[in-house]
């Protein structure tokens, strides 16, 4: 058997629960949507409080080709995909909302198990279409259309790739900028409308009222873009490709809307995981580090993994599929990682990435690996992260520039930075590993280059 070649795909602050769902999205449970079983070609390894996903090289090529062939070769297929995306997203919300409406304390363990498995099923199906296929299609079509506008004015490119409508974070920012923080009722209404936004995964808690107040204090109106979509088409002479760019704008919107569905679903399902945690005598955060089989084993037989093991998993875990079973290991897993043949890439001398929003600046690096790091970012810092998501927006507004390991022109960091007018470089590959907190760097977001500077003593 040929040795597998592993590619680093993405890194996120995910728990065991969501990483298992991610693996199962490309397994037999989604055969009706996606042909082929690739779940043994996906591995999550620990790194700096994040779970890093590696995918086997040939499996990734196969996955991308099937996604494009099935959902994205033409406008008709993409419209079908968009309809399926929203259909599954709404089903996910319906199931999670129905779960939240139950009087869970009066249900038997068997009934709790049935609700949990029902939630898992729709979460797996939605996660395939939302987080995975939507990501692939957005990257594919951007790469296909970007050469056409590569040498045009950055403001023109921004207009052509701007999402079809604002994502939740940008909409929240606009609403927050119009509210007086002293208006307690208005603040509470906005908080109730968006408190789900921080629920990236089961181990994340809803946004607090204080968090919303802090957000409102710093909210500023969105800068009006220089060009509308129609103006950009006319100036660039691309009116004949309007349909294609509208499709890309729809995919750009979906890249963030996919997280909206998931965050709302996680928020709605939180009472279920609270109930499981209460019955198991563990915390809500700890239950997020149990595998599906471990939760079922508890609900069927009252066997539960000890708190010490779960706390170890919170520090980092190795997760993979083997013969249809999900294997989770914690503690020192370096030998297992080497056994799979996963090699950590050497750090580059310089960093180069894709321009998310043009501009130039210098500043002090503040690395944000988890949501707990955002308080370190001060006005004028260079925010460096694996990837950004809505939880980071407060820190992003303070930053002089944003640099990420992952992402393209349609990523969250690129979209939000353009709305805020902050220089941004995405897709550097390993900025969070090549740079350290306190490094002085120059960010040339006109050319997509980040350089480390020497401090003058």
Q: Is residue 236 part of a domain?
A: no
**Low-confidence residues of the chain: pLDDT under 70:** 1-2, 345-349, 455-457
52 and 167 belong to one structural domain: no
Who's near 183: CB < 8 A, 6+ residues apart?
none
- 270 and 201, same domain (yes or no): no
pLDDT at res. 457 = 40
The number of domains in the chain is 3
Please check whether residues 133 and 161 belong to one and the same domain.
no
DSSP for 122-140? HHHHHHIIIIIIHHHHHHH
Dist CA 350 CA 348 (whole Å): 5
Same domain assignment for residues 103 and 25? yes
On whether residue 224 sits in a domain, the answer given is yes
Same domain? For 332 and 368 the reply is: no
CA distance 233 to 227: 10
Tell whether 345 is covered by a domain: no
Q: Is the pTM of this model over 0.85?
A: yes
Domain assignment present for residue 241? The answer is: no
Question: CB atoms < 10 A from the CB of 404, how many?
Answer: 28
Structural domain that includes position 369: 351-453
User: Helix, strand, or coil here: 60?
Assistant: helix
- Distance (Å, rounded) from C-alpha 386 to C-alpha 49? 11
Residue 456: per-residue pLDDT: 46
24 and 132 both lie in a single domain: yes
Burial class (CB in 10 A: 0-12, 13-18, 19+), 427: buried
**pLDDT tens track for 354-363:** 999 999 999 9
Claim to verify: residue 223 and residue 334 sit in the same structural domain? no
Among residues 230, 259, 282, the one where a domain terminates is: 230
Check whether residue 272 and residue 364 sit in a common domain: no
The CATH number of the domain where 383 resides is what? 3.50.30.10
Residue 414 inside a domain? The answer is yes
DSSP for 367-428 reads EESSGGGGGG--TT-EEEES---GGGHHHHHH-SEEEESS--TTSHHHHHHHHHT--EEE--
Beta bridge partners of 320: 43, 327
Instruction: Mark which of 281, 307, 340 sits at the end of a domain.
Output: 340
Q: What was the pLDDT predicted at 45?
A: 96
Measure Cα distances from 250 to 15, 106, 170, 394 in Å. Answer: 29, 44, 16, 26
Within a domain: residue 235?
A: no
**Last residue of a domain, which of 230, 261, 288?**
230
Q: Are residues 108 and 12 in the same domain?
A: yes
pLDDT at 437: 93
Q: How far apart are CA 293 and CA 325, in angstroms?
A: 9
Asked whether residue 237 is domain-assigned, the answer is no
Kindly state whether residues 140 and 156 are assigned to the same domain. Answer: no
Q: Are 273 and 384 part of one and the same domain? A: no
């Amino acid at each position: 058997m040929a040795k597998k070649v592993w590619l680093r795909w993405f890194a996120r602050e995910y728990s065991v629960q969501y990483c298992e769902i991610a693996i199962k999205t490309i397994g037999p449970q989604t055969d009706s949507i996606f042909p082929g079983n690739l779940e043994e070609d996906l591995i999550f390894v620990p790194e700096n409080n994040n779970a890093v996903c590696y995918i086997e090289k040939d499996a990734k090529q196969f996955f991308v080709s099937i996604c494009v062939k099935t959902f994205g070769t033409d406008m008709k297929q993409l419209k079908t995909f968009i309809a399926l995306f929203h259909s599954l997203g709404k089903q996910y919300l319906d199931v999670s909302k129905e779960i939240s409406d139950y009087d869970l304390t009066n249900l038997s363990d068997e009934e709790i198990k049935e609700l949990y498995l029902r939630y898992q099923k729709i979460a797996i199906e939605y996660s395939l279409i939302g987080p995975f296929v939507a990501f692939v299609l957005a990257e594919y079509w951007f790469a296909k259309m970007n050469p056409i506008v590569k040498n045009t004015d950055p403001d023109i490119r921004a207009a052509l790739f701007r999402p079809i409508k604002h994502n939740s974070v940008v909409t929240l920012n606009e609403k927050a900028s119009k509210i007086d923080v002293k208006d307690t009722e208005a603040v509470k209404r906005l908080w109730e409308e968006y408190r789900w936004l921080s629920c990236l995964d089961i181990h994340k808690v809803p946004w607090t009222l204080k968090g919303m107040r802090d957000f409102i204090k710093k909210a500023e109106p969105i800068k009006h873009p220089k060009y509308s979509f129609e103006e950009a088409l006319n100036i660039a002479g691309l009116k004949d490709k309007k349909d294609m760019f509208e499709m890309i704008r729809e995919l750009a919107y979906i890249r963030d809307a996919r997280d909206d569905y998931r965050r709302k679903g996680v928020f709605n399902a939180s009472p279920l995981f609270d109930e499981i945690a209460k019955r198991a005598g563990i915390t809500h955060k700890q239950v997020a580090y149990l595998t599906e089989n471990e939760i079922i084993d508890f609900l069927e037989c009252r066997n539960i993994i000890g708190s010490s093991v779960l706390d170890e998993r919170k520090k980092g875990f190795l997760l993979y599929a083997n013969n249809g079973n999900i294997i989770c290991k914690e503690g020192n897993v370096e030998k297992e990682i080497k056994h799979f043949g996963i090699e950590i890439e050497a750090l580059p001398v310089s960093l180069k990435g894709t321009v998310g929003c043009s501009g130039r600046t210098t500043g002090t690096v503040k690395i944000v690996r988890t949501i707990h790091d955002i308080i370190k970012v001060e006005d004028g810092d260079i925010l460096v992260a694996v990837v950004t998501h809505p939880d980071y927006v407060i820190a992003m507004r303070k930053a002089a520039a944003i640099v990420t390991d992952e992402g393209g022109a349609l990523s969250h960091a690129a979209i939000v930075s353009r709305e805020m007018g902050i220089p941004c470089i995405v897709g550097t590959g390993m900025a969070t590993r090549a740079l350290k907190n306190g490094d002085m760097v120059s960010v040339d977001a006109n050319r997509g280059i980040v350089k480390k500077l020497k401090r003058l003593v």
